[in-house]
Structure 1
């Protein structure tokens, strides 16, 4: 159990590293795009596979998120990662940052998808 807690804390720190690296101008635009998608997905209350689905529901938390983090970290220059790791430790001590713009964007996207799905289902049955 202790290993899982250590792994989870390391994962959380890596998310903050990605969050900070996204803001760095030394990171290429395509890396920023991928990184913001990974961070937004992690902070999003909506999962690709809902958690209430037995076993499969937690696959995104255990497999997809760590893979996304790993790929994003490989794309970021090492000097940026080193600087962001120091800042991430400070953030973890002071509490999570809140980004209402990204949160609102995620809610808007899911609302559009839901609305579109409802319209398509309605059209299908009429």
Structure 2
């Protein structure tokens, strides 16, 4: 996928649209939504070690907190589909990008499985996702 360069029809630069996910494309922080519902009781303690003191980075925080979840991915994906929402006009932005041949993708430190679930719910499963694929059991 070419993300920059001249548009052959107009000679103008060809933009790409990249968006974050939690609290950006999604109305809420979907990771926190899942942790509040399915997380271990101490997930907030782990969060206190991130990011300020430098003991753990975001990827490690996610792996620790999501590894402790007993729900399987299918259960979490169903919960996302029921309780999370994309921002108004996200679908229209995707349509605009498709119509105008602008590449668009979600680029996020969020976890791929819950991003995909919400995009699928909205009929936007074709939006490319570049996100964390955690080392967490799929159960």
What TM-score do you get using the length of structure 2 for normalisation?
Answer: 0.22
Structure richer in strand, relative to its length? 2
TM value normalised by structure 1: 0.24
